[in-house]
């Protein structure tokens, strides 16, 4: 397994996925079990029983504790073994690692590194997912590709005219103005295109005019990307003219292994927010759009696996993905210099 940045918050699940049924998920190569206590407090712990390594998420909750499905040891939500059959005393090492785990803006966030560094103010801000002035569609998909391929994809929206030509891409969105801004742990590209043919989804949503569109894509370490899209009738401001839309999207990428990742996504909009019919259609369209990216990401990973040493040739539009790689490399190297995590006692 490759090296992942550990001291960072990662999205581990949708809020709705974590409840009174244990959920097991491999995150950064580590098996994690997630559930809620009876009062709703979220819990995330190591998903491998220290006895004979059974997966705890296949077990059952007993009050706020979880019982291993193999020989029945019960662990409390602090990871401590509290009962085993036929045994009065349990070794202190019979314990599970517990991860900092926080619910924020309808997502569950986990910190897989040193718990002492888990500052909740560093959680990626998905504010519009729970803002009543915005409507949200969201989902999860498992992708058989390296997480960095998703960052390349999200930071280079020149793929839109091709990969998404049946959904949100305009065929003639080929010559935008593109400006980059960068900070220590982020990079943002602003892509402006004018006088575009309306994309298929925009036509479905009522566009009957040429479109001016600004797309902003922002990578923030470890692997989160905002893609914000503002469209209006050509020559008109947002909110004026025959057609106007604003989407703020969140792409929360969490590596599962070196070559697979969890893709949590949300698309929030500030129009048609109370229209249930539009909402249902938008959910279907959002899933179609993400499926288009999944296809191309998995195909490119297969090509990498066939010839891992083959060099890729970069274009100017790759600046965002390349800078994101540099940021991650620097953070991982800095983490390597730090003290190792304390062992479980
Ligand atoms: S493997 Fe969990 S109790 Fe034996
Ligand atoms: Fe895409």
- pLDDT tier for residue 342 given thresholds of 50, 70 and 90: low
Q: Where are the domains of the chain?
A: 9-122, 130-332
Q: What is the mean pLDDT of the chain?
A: 96
Q: Report which of 14, 24, 11 is spatially closest to residue 110, judged by C-alpha positions.
A: 11
Residues having C-beta closer than 5 Å to ion ligand 2: 293
Asked if residue 74 has its Cβ within 6 Å of ligand 1, the reply is no
pLDDT in tens, 195-217: 999 999 999 999 999 999 999 99
**Mean pLDDT on 116-139:** 98
| 9-122: CATH number | 2.102.10.10
How far is Cα 198 from Cα 206, in angstroms, rounded to an integer? Answer: 10
Q: How confident is the model at residue 316 (pLDDT cuts 50, 70, 90)?
A: confident
Give the closest ligand to the alpha carbon of residue 294: 2
Please tell me if the CB atom of residue 70 comes closer than 6 angstroms to any atom of ligand 1: yes
Put the strands of the sheet holding 42-46 in their side by side order. 23-27, 30-36, 42-46
pLDDT at site 98: 98
* Beta carbon of 68 within 6 Å of any ligand 1 atom: yes
Tell me the ligand closest to 54's alpha carbon.
1
3-state secondary structure of 252: strand
Confidence of residue 343 (pLDDT cuts 50, 70, 90): low
- What's 80's DSSP letter? B
Ligand closest to 229 (CA) is 2
Atom of ligand 1 nearest to the CA of 69: 2
Q: Which of 33, 57, 70 to mutate to test ligand 1, by most ligand atoms within 8 A of the CB atom?
A: 70
Q: Does residue 110 contact residue 44 with C-beta atoms inside 8 Å?
A: yes
CA 236 to ligand 2 centroid distance, Å:
26
Cα of 169 vs centre of ligand 2, distance in Å, is: 9
Contact 32, 99 (CB under 8 A): yes
Atom number of ligand 1 nearest to Cα 72: 3
Query: Which atom of ligand 1 approaches the CA of 71 most closely?
Result: 3
CB-CB contact of 302 with 310 (8 Å): no
Question: Going along the chain, which residue ranges are E strands?
Answer: 9-14, 23-27, 30-36, 42-46, 60-62, 65-67, 74-75, 81-83, 101-104, 107-111, 135-143, 177-182, 186-196, 211-220, 224-233, 244-257, 260-269
CA of 171 to the centre of ligand 2 (A): 14
Report the residue among 31, 51, 58, 94 best suited for mutation to probe ligand 1: largest number of ligand atoms under 8 A from its CB. 51
Cα of 290 from ligand 2 centre, angstroms:
7
Q: Which residue lies with its CA nearest to atom 3 of ligand 1?
A: 71
171 lines ligand 1 (CB under 6 A): no
Please tell me if the CB atom of residue 90 comes closer than 6 angstroms to any atom of ligand 1: no
pLDDT digits (tens, 9 = 90+) for 92-113: 999 999 999 999 999 999 999 9
What is the average pLDDT across 315-336?
A: 94
Asked if the model's pLDDT at residue 45 lies above 70, the reply is yes
What is the number of the ligand closest to the CA of 75? 1
- φ/ψ of 5, rounded to 5, equals -75, 120
Task: Report the CATH fold assignment for 130-332.
Answer: Naphthalene 1,2-dioxygenase Alpha Subunit; Chain A, domain 1 (3.90.380)
Band of the pLDDT at 338, cuts 50, 70, 90? confident
Q: How confident is the model at residue 345 (pLDDT cuts 50, 70, 90)?
A: very low
What is the distance in A from the centroid of ligand 2 to the CA of 211?
A: 19
Quote the tokens at residue 193. 């295109």
| Segment 1-11 mean pLDDT | 92
Backbone angles phi, psi at 287, to 5 degrees: -65, -40
Kindly tell me if the per-residue pLDDT of 125 is higher than 90. yes
Q: Burial letters for 249-283: b for 16+ Cβ neighbours within 10 Å, e otherwise?
A: bbbbbbbbbebbbbbbbbbbbbebeeeeebeebbe
Q: What is the pLDDT of residues 254-273, one digit of tens each?
A: 999 999 999 999 999 999 99
Query: Does 341 have pLDDT greater than 70?
Result: no
Contact status, residue 268 vs residue 128, Cβ threshold 8 Å: yes
Task: Return the pLDDT at 35.
Answer: 99
What are the tens digits of pLDDT across the range 220-265? 999 999 999 999 999 999 999 999 999 999 999 999 999 999 999 9
Angle at CA of residue 287, ends 105 and 229, nearest 5°: 65
DSSP annotation string for 290-304 = HHHHHHHHHHHHHHH
Rounded to an integer, the average pLDDT of 4-28 is 98
Instruction: Give the tens place of pLDDT for each residue, 141-187.
Output: 999 999 999 999 999 999 999 999 999 999 999 999 999 999 999 99
Q: Determine which residue's CA is closest to atom 4 belonging to ligand 1.
A: 71
Q: Is the peptide bond before 222 cis (omega within 30 degrees of 0)?
A: yes
């Amino acid at each position: 397994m490759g090296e992942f940045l550990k001291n960072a918050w990662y999205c581990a699940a949708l809020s709705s996925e974590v409840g009174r049924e244990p959920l097991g998920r491999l995150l950064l190569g580590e098996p994690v079990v997630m559930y809620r206590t009876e009062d709703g407090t979220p819990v995330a712990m190591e998903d491998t029983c220290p006895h004979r390594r059974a997966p705890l998420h296949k077990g059952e909750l007993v009050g706020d504790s979880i019982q291993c499905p193999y020989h029945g040891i019960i662990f409390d939500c602090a990871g401590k073994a509290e009962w085993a059959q036929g045994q009065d005393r349990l070794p202190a090492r019979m314990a599970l690692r517990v991860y900092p785990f926080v619910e924020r803006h309808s997502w569950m966030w986990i910190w897989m590194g040193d718990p002492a560094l888990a500052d909740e103010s560093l959680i990626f801000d998905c504010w519009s997912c729970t803002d009543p002035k915005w409507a949200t569609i969201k989902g999860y998909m498992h992708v058989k590709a390296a997480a960095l391929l998703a960052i390349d994809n999200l930071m280079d929206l020149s793929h839109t005219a091709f990969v998404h030509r049946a959904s949100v891409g305009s065929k003639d969105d080929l010559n935008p103005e593109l400006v980059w801004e960068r900070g220590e742990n982020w990079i943002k590209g602003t892509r402006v295109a004018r006088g575009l043919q309306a994309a298929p989804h925009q036509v479905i949503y009522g566009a009957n005019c040429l479109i001016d569109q600004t797309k902003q894509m922002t990578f923030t370490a470890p692997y989160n990307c905002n893609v914000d899209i503002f469209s209006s009738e050509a020559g008109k401001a947002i909110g004026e003219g025959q057609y106007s839309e604003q989407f703020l999207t969140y792409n929360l990428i969490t590596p599962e292994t070196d070559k697979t990742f969890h893709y949590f996504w949300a698309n929030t909009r500030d129009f048609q927010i109370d229209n249930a019919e539009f909402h249902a259609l938008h959910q279907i369209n959002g899933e179609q759009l993400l499926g288009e990216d999944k296809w191309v990401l998995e195909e490119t990973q297969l090509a990498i696996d066939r010839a891992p040493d083959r060099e890729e040739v970069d274009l100017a539009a790759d600046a965002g993905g390349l800078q994101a790689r540099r940021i991650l490399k620097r953070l991982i190297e800095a983490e390597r210099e730090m003290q190792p995590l304390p062992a479980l006692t």
